[in-house]
Structure 1
């Protein structure tokens, strides 16, 4: 397609179609890594992987659609001889691909909720009912999209005689049901987590993550608006818009939100490492021990007695630290082999006003 028109808006749309699946891919890889590491792979992971694969396919198909139908291009820049038939075929393909993505993502969330222990039976039954309804709705919508025209080819080939159902009614009905199931699946985790006995940090993380589902629902509503607009907008330049890309944003946000709860062990490790690093920096600053390295208490017979030097003599430093003259040189062997963080559970020192205090290693 040499010499085809281009625009900054179309380039931005293509960038969205590339970036969103890549971001979702990174999130899912992290999810699978932590699940492998904790030996907790489940069906919810398989479902989210299927949704991701379709999302990548959606991105490829959407880029082809944007090129074939000149989405993001002003109508006066479209060549008069342009054939839009192939673009309509890809619109059909993209619609078929898009249909099960959100359903698979929601099913992954529902399976994740069923894996939680401590859920009351009535809540578990509600989750099962929602899962069954979600599957049924997905199958019905999927078949309706495929067979909305008879024969199927009549959707993209206007030269083929046939009949089609009301496409506007199909799009609005399926979009509305999608938003309603979004609301139900957002509400379920909040109700469940409020009644579960778990750490405050974990509960806050999970509830915060599922709160992102509100954003997904908002994007679904925006998409529904653009779908309706595509049917009622009769202006020649209606394709100069990024409304076509909202479906990709919606799917990738949904996958990210559904995967985030599984990342809690990774977040917990990061928080633990961050806290440990922060404490180490604090002690290094307060007690000037950054040049000291680790050693066992049993390797240092003078530790625990602040008046004993490595050479057996007894002395105090001005600041009350356990450092004799030979230890104050950073190149000295004793300096290289001692860390006050790991010397012992408790080290007694004497500060400037001769009062004793205890530094406890919280390891």
Structure 2
């Protein structure tokens, strides 16, 4: 793919357009399921807290269900967005494809909405618990790492809007950050889903993060 190289440093003929599109297709198909499974894991963790608040449990199950449906539907739509499928990487073939802008805007919007819903839940669950404010704020902070994921997702939407509307023409796109945003987003989501564990690990090394539950 030669990501990270200036266009003038890429040898002529080094990039096979068909192979490039095939890898892009594979990445697009698995992107939403990966994020969806990470979110599902985090929601299950919150469900295990067994909040006595019925509305919280309804909200968690609603988020889980909506996320599950999207996790199943998004890759199917992505995989079969072209008829035949191979038209995705070979535009010379006869056939049709759905509008990539509408698909991208739609999926990123759903991801952002579920991101915000998931990130808001730890605060809702913990804000009424009786514990020292410092400890409560620390737990909420670590369980809200997903805010960084939401920020990356919002920036991805901004980048794609500019891309599809041709507001910004970048001849040196291979050297930009756009190609790596989805990987950064997935990586941050994985870290965010482990927020509680990250706090525990930091507590083993940094005294300020320790509490009575952290082994000495």
Do the structures match in fold with TM over 0.5? yes
Is it true that 1:117 corresponds to 2:47 in the alignment?
A: no
- Is there any run of 5+ residues in structure 2 with no aligned partner, and where? 211-216
Aligned mates of 2:29, 2:181 — CA distance in 1: 16
Question: 2:129 is matched with which residue: 196, 214, 224?
Answer: 196
User: Per residue, is there more helix in 1 or in 2?
Assistant: 2
Whether the 8 Å CA contact 1:118–1:196 is kept in 2: the answer is no
Relative to structure 1, the CA distance from residue 162 to residue 200 in structure 2 (aligned partners, 3 Å threshold; closer, same or farther) is: same
Is it true that 1:86 corresponds to 2:19 in the alignment?
A: yes
The aligned counterpart of 1:262 is 197
Relative to structure 1, the CA distance from residue 80 to residue 232 in structure 2 (aligned partners, 3 Å threshold; closer, same or farther) is: farther
Aligned mates of 2:10, 2:109 — CA distance in 1: 35
Aligned mates of 2:209, 2:154 — CA distance in 1: 39
TM-score (norm 2): 0.84
Whether the 8 Å CA contact 1:74–1:237 is kept in 2: the answer is yes
Give the deviation of 1:236 after TM superposition: 3.8
Question: 2:182 is matched with which residue: 247, 250, 255?
Answer: 247
Aligned mates of 1:176, 1:223 — CA distance in 2: 10
Whether the 8 Å CA contact 2:142–2:199 is kept in 1: the answer is no
- Give the 5 Å matches for 1:152-163: 152-163=85-96
Structure with greater Cα Rg: 1
Give the deviation of 1:200 after TM superposition: 4.9
- Give the 5 Å matches for 1:28-67: 66-67=1-2
Aligned mates of 1:148, 1:252 — CA distance in 2: 26
- Is there any run of 5+ residues in structure 1 with no aligned partner, and where? 1-65, 276-363
Whether the 8 Å CA contact 2:67–2:114 is kept in 1: the answer is yes
Task: Provide the alpha-carbon RMSD of the alignment.
Answer: 2.6
Give the deviation of 1:100 after TM superposition: 1.1
Whether the 8 Å CA contact 2:122–2:144 is kept in 1: the answer is no
Aligned mates of 1:207, 1:273 — CA distance in 2: 16
Instruction: Provide, for residues 114-138 of structure 1, a one-character-per-residue CA deviation record: whole Å limited to 9, x for no partner.
Output: 0103431121111001100011112
Instruction: Provide, for residues 248-289 of structure 1, a one-character-per-residue CA deviation record: whole Å limited to 9, x for no partner.
Output: 1111111111102134444455467998xxxxxxxxxxxxxx
The aligned counterpart of 1:105 is 38
Aligned mates of 1:219, 1:195 — CA distance in 2: 30
Is it true that 1:216 corresponds to 2:149 in the alignment?
A: yes
TM-score (norm 1): 0.52
Question: 1:170 is matched with which residue: 99, 103, 110?
Answer: 103
Is it true that 1:135 corresponds to 2:68 in the alignment?
A: yes
Relative to structure 1, the CA distance from residue 119 to residue 252 in structure 2 (aligned partners, 3 Å threshold; closer, same or farther) is: farther
How many residues align? The count is 208
Aligned mates of 1:173, 1:272 — CA distance in 2: 44
Whether the 8 Å CA contact 1:149–1:162 is kept in 2: the answer is yes
My pick for the range that moved more, 265-274 or 100-109, is: 265-274
Aligned mates of 1:241, 1:199 — CA distance in 2: 45
My pick for the range that moved more, 266-275 or 81-90, is: 266-275
Instruction: Provide, for residues 33-87 of structure 1, a one-character-per-residue CA deviation record: whole Å limited to 9, x for no partner.
Output: xxxxxxxxxxxxxxxxxxxxxxxxxxxxxxxxx23xx663325855158531110
Aligned mates of 2:126, 2:202 — CA distance in 1: 18
My pick for the range that moved more, 242-251 or 257-266, is: 257-266
Is it true that 1:146 corresponds to 2:70 in the alignment?
A: no
Whether the 8 Å CA contact 1:103–1:134 is kept in 2: the answer is yes
